[in-house]
Structure formats: structure tokens, C-alpha cells
Amino acid sequence: MSLFKYIYLVIRNLVCNFHYLGKYNLSASTQKNAPSDYSDLRQSILQCKKQLICNYYNIHPLEAKKYNEELNYLNSIDFIDPFPYPTIKKSPKVHVEYDSKKSKVFVNHNGKKLYFPKSWSKETATRYYLRFIERENILGGNYTTKTPHQYQSNLIHVDNDDIVIDAGAAEGLFALDVIEKAKFVYLFEVDEIWLDALNATFEPYKDKVFIIPKYLSGVDSKDSSSLPSTLPQTTEESYFIKMDIEGEEENVLRASETFLQSNNKIKISCCTYHRANHENDIPLFLKSHGFQTEFSDGFMVFYWDPNLNMPYFRKGLVRAIRN
């Protein structure tokens, strides 16, 4: 075994061990006595993960050529970034206000109120909103040189009178952005921190929005619902399905084959970075059902993968359409 490979394996095992420790609530046990220790440990873990990635490509230069832009960016910063591209422009000033009746702050997004949890300050809401706009580019805008987490494209996007399924809705920014085009919107979100804020955000649109406090999954249970059990049987509707559901995307699709083969027009924007195999398996599955597919631009670094498996640079999402 070469020295470089030995060093690489040592660092990789170290990172895995750090992640194992990270499963425990270290912050609760250390915060009282040494509030900075956990933060320092977390930063050390992230630095180890970044170093592991960079070292791997140092000893695999042929593979590194495919990711020159991404590696150059990672080497230019002091932290690890899931979106390895520089910001090239800034968003206009964010207008954030406090709603005393709802006891929440909200951001004015294109004239619509996007609410945040009650405990959040204006500063926290502003940072969160800007992250999605400027760093993740979920709504487009070319704020970074490449945009691996952009849900829509010129070919595949929400059209007027689409039925929109937003699975992993979180704060609801994507759905709010397209609410006026949509015929109806299904929001899947299980995290309680978001449910109250979602109800506030979509109160003006309650006649066309259904908030489902469950996971979108391949099976139906007390905590999860599948697409077939959620959607009415239709034949000539147009659907836009957006999924960012922690690696459950392929299971949802495979459990929805009857729906995918229906006479409805179906468009899909589906995250592929959660699982190492998804950027290969999900497009193959969709193509086998007659879908035209395209990847988003660039790659993501899924550094919170428990085992930090290859590929380190993963396609952010696949978009698909079948007329």
C-alpha cells in the first residue's frame, strides 16, 4: 500500500469515527462547561472531511480533472461548502418585518409574505432566505457560477394550472414562488418547526393549498404517505413534482409507477445527492418510463453523508418531463 493511500485511509477512518461521536448530543453535555468546545470539534470534523476530499483527488489526478473548478473553490476557502462555486452577484435588499398578530417575522418575497418560526429574529430569517436565494439558487438567478440545486429550467418548470407537489417543503419558498401559477399545491413537511410558519404563509391561498404533515414515501403509514394515496386519479392534468426528501426519492418514484405511466403530463425535479447511486439509478428509472431527463448544472458536496461515500461530488438533482 502506498503512503498516500495509507494516509487517505487513516483520514477517512478518522472522519467516520468523528461522525459516530457526532450521533451523540455532545453540545448538551459540553455547552454548560465549555461552550466553545463542541463548535471547535465540529469545525475540526468539517476540516477533516474537506481534507479527505482534497487529498483523495491529489492522489487521483485523472479524476480530479473532472472537478477542477470545484476543487479550486474548496481550496480557496477555509471551510467546506456543499455548493462549491463562488457567489458572483448579490440579491437586492431583503425586506423583513415582524407580524405582531402572528408573532412571527416574514420576508417580503415578490410581494408575498414568507413566514418563519416564532423564535426566529429578523437577522436569522434574512440569513436563511439569502442562503436559498444566493447560495442554493433554488429559484434560479445565476447567483453562483453553477447552480446544482436549481429546481427549474427553461425546459422543465411550473406552468400555469400545474398541480404542484412540494415534498420536503421546509419554509415553503419554492411553492410560494409558483403559487400564482399553480392550480393546486400539495406541501409535504413533517418538521414541526415549519408547520406553523407554513400555515401562516399559505393562509391567503388556503383554497388551493393542502399541507400534509407527513413524509412523502414509498409506503403509507402513520407518519408517511405515498403519491398514489395522496393524489386523486386523473388522466389529463399537468403535474410538477419537486422532491428533496433525504434519499427517499427513488422509493417514491418506484412506488408511483402506475401514476408515472398515466396519461397526465408529468414534470419532476428530484434531488440526487443524498445517495451515492441516485444520480445513475433515478435517471435510468425515469428514462425507462418514457421521460426525457436533464441534470442541473454543476455538483454538490454532500459532506453530511454519514460515511462520506464516493462520489464526493454529486449531481444535485435531475429534472424530467414526459408529455
What's the CA gap between 107 and 80, in Å, rounded?
28
The verdict on 55 and 193 lying in the same domain is no
Write out the residue range of the structural domain in which residue 246 sits. Answer: 163-322
Whether 279 contacts 315, CB under 8 Å: yes
The verdict on 202 and 71 lying in the same domain is no
- Report pTM: 0.87
Check pLDDT > 70 for residue 16: no
Assigned domain for 64 exists: yes
Assigned domain for 100 exists: no
**Which of 82, 6, 8, 83 lies closest to 46 in space, CA to CA?**
82
Q: What pLDDT is stored for residue 5 in this prediction?
A: 55
Percent of the chain with pLDDT over 70: 88
Whether 185 contacts 164, CB under 8 Å: yes
Assigned domain for 151 exists: no
pLDDT-based confidence at residue 15 (cuts at 50, 70, 90): low
Check pLDDT > 50 for residue 22: no
Q: What pLDDT is stored for residue 323 in this prediction?
A: 76
Assigned domain for 82 exists: no
Assigned domain for 145 exists: no
Q: What pLDDT is stored for residue 186 in this prediction?
A: 98
Tell me, letter by letter, the H, E, C secondary structure of 260-317: HCCCCEEEEEEECCCCCCHHHHHHHHHHCCCCEEEECCCEEECCCCCCCCCCCEEECE
Average pLDDT of 167-184? Answer: 98
The verdict on 47 and 169 lying in the same domain is no
| pLDDT 10s digits, 252-281 | 999 999 999 999 999 999 999 999 999 999
Assigned domain for 150 exists: no
Count how many domains the chain has.
Answer: 2
Q: What pLDDT is stored for residue 10 in this prediction?
A: 53
Assigned domain for 85 exists: no
Check pLDDT > 80 for residue 19: no
- Domain final residue pick, 47, 76, 105: 76
pLDDT-based confidence at residue 43 (cuts at 50, 70, 90): confident
Assigned domain for 104 exists: no
Check pLDDT > 70 for residue 9: no
The verdict on 199 and 295 lying in the same domain is yes
Whether 82 contacts 97, CB under 8 Å: no
What's the CA gap between 215 and 245, in Å, rounded?
8
| pLDDT 10s digits, 278-323 | 999 999 999 999 999 999 999 999 998 877 888 999 999 999 999 7
Average pLDDT of 114-128? Answer: 97
CATH code of 299's domain: 3.40.50.150
50, burial (CB in 10 Å: exposed 0-12, middle 13-18, buried 19+):
buried
Whether 320 contacts 154, CB under 8 Å: no
- Domain final residue pick, 58, 76, 94: 76
The verdict on 167 and 67 lying in the same domain is no
- Domain final residue pick, 39, 55, 76: 76
Whether 261 contacts 231, CB under 8 Å: no
| pLDDT 10s digits, 134-169 | 999 999 999 999 999 999 999 999 999 999 999 999
DSSP secondary structure string for all residues of 132-175? IIIIS-TT----BS--TT----SSS---TT-EEEEES-TT-HHH
The verdict on 175 and 318 lying in the same domain is yes
Q: What pLDDT is stored for residue 27 in this prediction?
A: 39
Determine which helix (DSSP H) or strand (DSSP E) holds 16, and give its type and residue range: helix 3-22
| Average pLDDT for the chain | 90
